[in-house]
Amino acid sequence: MSYRLEVVVTDDGSCCESGTSRSRRGAVVVQVKDVNNNAPRFPDCSLYSPTVMENENVGTTVIQVVALFFMGGFGIG
């Protein structure tokens, strides 16, 4: 199972002499490799507020999240 997320990024135009903001579209594909009947918990979700600098290299990691889920039976995975 996979999900395709359409992402739109926009700057505020402060980087350009014209002051014109620019935007670009892209896609993020999330592949789900295991379906679980229990909803995941994101223990640090209040800390997630990613920012990307305009001059970052393509392929730079923007955010990494932690999800905990109960598999049933033993432990957290």
Helix (H) or strand (E) holding 10: strand 2-10
The mean pLDDT of 16-30, rounded to a whole number, is 82
Q: Across the strands, what pairs with 19?
A: none
Long-range contacts of 72-76 (CB under 8 A, 24+ apart): 72/37, 72/38
C-alpha to C-alpha distance for 48 and 27, rounded to whole angstroms: 20
Helix (H) or strand (E) holding 40: none
Per-residue pLDDT at 20 exceeds 80: no
Q: Which tops the pLDDT comparison, 37 or 64?
A: 64
**Band of pLDDT at residue 55, cut at 50, 70 and 90:** confident
Q: Which tops the pLDDT comparison, 17 or 72?
A: 17
If one counts every other C-beta atom within 10 angstroms of the C-beta of residue 11, the result is 14
The whole-number pLDDT of residue 1 equals: 80
